Structure 1
Amino acid sequence: MTLPNTMKAMVLTGHGGLDKLEWREDVPVPRPGVGEVLIRVGASALNNTDVNTRTGWYSKAVRGDTNAAGTTGYDGASDADGAWSGALSFPRIQGADCCGKIVAVGEAVDKARIGARVLVRPMHRPAGGDAKALVTFGSERDGGFAQFTTVDSAHALRIDSPLSDVELASFPCAFSTAEGMIQRAELTAERVLITGASGGVGSAAVQLAKRRGAHVTAVTSPGKASALEALGADVVLSRDGALPAEAFDVVLDLVGGPRWPALLDALAVGGRYAASGAIAGPIVELDLRTFYLKDLTLVGSTRQAPEVFTDLVDYIERGEIRPILADTYPLREMRAAQEAFLGKTHMGKIGIEITG
């Protein structure tokens, strides 16, 4: 195909409120570098990290929950550490999720890849980089909130599925985050507690834990209980209710906040706790006696081994997991999509269609 010189994109111009999201129709179409592919984006989706990065919530200056200033940004957020790997370069095209087709390739990439339908691995280490380095699609490099995007060829995985682009775009960030937590916690057919279970990562974790044969207890608001049971949750508890003591082998936590000590109390002796979010607040109180007297293991989960995403693609192609789309917005209506996202009345993901 003949590539245009410019494209439409939603551009983040700095940390702050929704006004920092700027619709543009004159963004230069990127060209793939050595080892890269150019993707015509079919769809993306919203994630907590899109909002958190915009507001600067990752800054150590911020101590509140992720929703408190979701529309306005956080006072005191620092440009020096406002993204999860530190400073962010602006302007930036966000969007950790991406489903699309390869339309051009850079040097050293097989031209046979052109035309392939792909999902982008959202979190990876840079080519030839340190094993601890982290590149997040839509953060450290431009992502899927645009008509075209580039990525290293190795991180554009071919997908063979009857699902639509927007359905497929609901998987990468949320499901790889959940699968990363599950693999880090070495979850098997055990008793697992999942907080924030109605969100994108939480609802993904419910499905992924069930495919391992786990007994799943999901924590959410009462109005979403039946939907989580339909996903496979064995028990649904209210997020405001008490948790049973020493009832779980594993806790997958996306919430944090003031009720965090109860999660450790709910773990059995030798239990494992894994976290990949703190939507209720990042500052928690830890009683070290609970930690060491119960021989607990606490695991942080952000970086992912390459097989996490390849496993996920396999699950999708085999039909073992399904997308959970609450709603879909066109890219130009990103501000409205984020306002809906911040309302937290939905379950699963909000999709973003890329058209034009």
Structure 2
Amino acid sequence: MDTPETMRAVRIAGHGGPEVLERAEVAVPAPQAGEVLVRVAAVALNNTDLWTREGAYGRPDDPKALSGWRGPIGFPRIQGADVAGRVVAVGPDVDGGLAGRRVVVDPAIYDTEGPDANPVGLMGSERDGGYAEYVTAPAARVHDVTDSPLTDDQLATLPTAYGTALGMIERGRLREGETVLVSGASGGVGIALIQIARARGARVLAISSGSKTDAVREAGAHEVLDRARDIAGQLRAAAPDGIDVALDVVAGELVGDGLPLLREGGRWVVAGALGGYDVAFDVRRLYLHNAQVIGSAMHTPTHFALLMDLARRGEIQPVVAAAYPLDRAAEAQEELARRAHVGKIVLRP
């Protein structure tokens, strides 16, 4: 299959607001040894796109430092972690049978080759991503989903949001019959958490705002708590015996308010800080009740393989809130930042 020499892309040349997203005509990358070239059908937006662009991650030695996901970014950088598309070329040492296959790319850059490796980098941050017509990826990170009933837009929503959700659920050891609290329930990760937790047989309590309540309930939440009211009071009423697992992308005051509501041996899993990264809680509620606070960044290769099995069988139904053409990436990011939508926003190169 012939590929052009150049392609349209949207990239950032430095940290800043939506204005730093620039359209560019760049060379189509050549797949190196062990890599494939994917023609991008859809790329989903994530909060990490906003925070990487803004440099909002801080560094261990300086929480306020401008930084990418795991350190300084190499500019210019093409953003976009979540890619669905087709393999159009393979590099040396790659099975030629992958050519023409419909795929989803695991965007994580791992610390080792093992099945339980930790992500230490991300496509669109530590290497160029999918805000472009083509992107390269390691062949080992490309998953064949040719037979999935999901659309390209739906497949593109999976890697970061559903990967993060599955990582949280696995690390939190959520079991059938347990009661789970989901914060930020109307966002991409929140909807994914509800769907996967519900499929596992958990009772799902979700925190959202009034206008999004119906959509969150439709995603599978058993009860929806209004984030504008007393969360702890609503939680006590909905789960008088406490909750087993909290799946939290908000953090902030919610951790201190909610930790006393965990049952014995409960787990509080944090994968975001939409409500603030500076957290205070009564440590006695932790050690006296054998509770655990667990940090969860994305997924492992094992988690991602489980997710792709769900996608092939169509056992999850991602919600696509809106789709934009590639050249309106800045507008799409602004819509994402407003948080008025339910589900995921995608770009179509």
Q: TM-score, normalised by structure 1?
A: 0.91
Q: Which amino acid aligns with 2:343?
A: G
Q: Which residue of 2 aligns with 1:9?
A: 9
Equivalence for 2:214? 226
- Call closer, same or farther: CA 1:114–1:126 in 2, change over 3 Å: farther
Question: Structure 1 residue 286: deviation in Å?
Answer: 2.2
Q: Which residue of 2 aligns with 1:273?
A: 268
Alignment partners' CA distance in 1, 2:37 and 2:327 = 21
Structure 2: how far apart are the matches of 1:41 and 1:145? Answer: 8
Structure 1 range deviating more: 122-131 or 299-308: 122-131
Alpha-carbon contact 1:9-1:93 (below 8 Å) kept: yes
Q: Which amino acid aligns with 1:249?
A: D
Q: Distance in 1 between matches of 2:318 and 2:331?
A: 22
Whether contact under 8 Å (2:105, 2:142) holds in the other structure is yes
Query: 93, 100, 108: which is aligned to 2:93?
Result: 108
Q: Distance in 2 between matches of 1:264 and 1:48?
A: 25
| 1:343 equivalenced with 2:338 (yes/no) | yes
Moved more, 294-303 or 119-128: 119-128
Residues of 2 paired with 1:62 and 1:43: CA distance?
35
Q: Is residue 37–residue 88 contact of structure 2 (8 Å, CA) maintained in 1?
A: yes
Cα distance in 2 for partners of 1:247, 1:103 equals 51
DSSP-derived class of the 2:253 partner: coil
- Shift of residue 124 of structure 1? 3.6
Question: For the Cα contact (< 8 Å) 2:119–2:300, is it kept in 1?
Answer: no
Candidates 135, 143, 151, aligned match of 1:157: 143
2:56 is matched with which residue? 57
1:145 aligns with 2:131: yes
Number of residue pairs the alignment of both structures matches = 338
Question: Deviation per CA, 1:38-92, whole angstroms, max 9, x where unpaired?
Answer: 00001001100000110111014987xxxxxxxxxxxx642xxx11211111111
Cα deviation for residue 303 of structure 1 reads 5.0
Q: Structure 2 regions of 5+ residues with no counterpart?
A: none
The amino acid of 1:236's aligned partner reads V
Q: Distance in 1 between matches of 2:118 and 2:173?
A: 21
Counterparts of 2:300 and 2:27, CA distance in 1: 33
Residues 240-319 of structure 1 mapped to structure 2, 5 A cutoff: 240-241=228-229, 242-243=231-232, 244-245=235-236, 247-302=242-297, 304-319=299-314
CA deviations 1:214-273 (Å, max 9, x no partner) are 000000001111111111100100112232346200000000123321121221121001
Partner of residue 188, structure 1 = 175
How far apart, CA to CA, are the structure 1 residues paired with 2:258 and 2:324? 35
Shift of 1:31: 0.4
Stretches of structure 1 lacking an aligned partner (at least 5 in a row): 64-75
Residues 124 and 304 of structure 1 are in contact (CA less than 8 Å); yes or no, is this contact kept in structure 2? no
Q: CA shift at 1:326, angstroms?
A: 0.7
Q: Within 5 Å, give how 1:18-29 maps onto structure 2.
A: 18-24=18-24, 26-29=25-28
* TM-score normalised by the chain length of structure 2: 0.93
User: Greater CA deviation, 207-216 or 164-173?
Assistant: 164-173
Equivalent position amino acid for 2:31 in 1: P
3-state SS in 1 of match to 2:128:
coil
Aligned sequence identity (%)? 45
One-letter code aligned to 1:315 = L
| Match status 1:136 vs 2:131 | no
The residue type equivalent to 2:290 in the other structure is D
Deviations 1:271-330 (A, max 9, x none): 001011011111111221111122111110115221211111111121211010111111
Runs of 4+ in 1 over 4 A off after TM superposition: 60-63, 126-133
C-alpha RMSD of matched pairs (Å): 1.8
CA distance in 1, matches of 2:112, 2:224: 42
- Tell me, yes or no, if the aligned pair for 1:134 and 1:303 is still in contact at 8 Å: no
Distance 1:154 1:6, change over 3 A: same
| Structure 2 CA distance for partners of 1:219 and 1:132, relative to 1, 3 Å | closer
Which residue of structure 2 lines up, in the alignment, with residue 170 of structure 1?
A: 157
Query: How many Å separate the matches in 2 of 1:353 and 1:263?
Result: 40
Matched, 1:84 2:69: yes
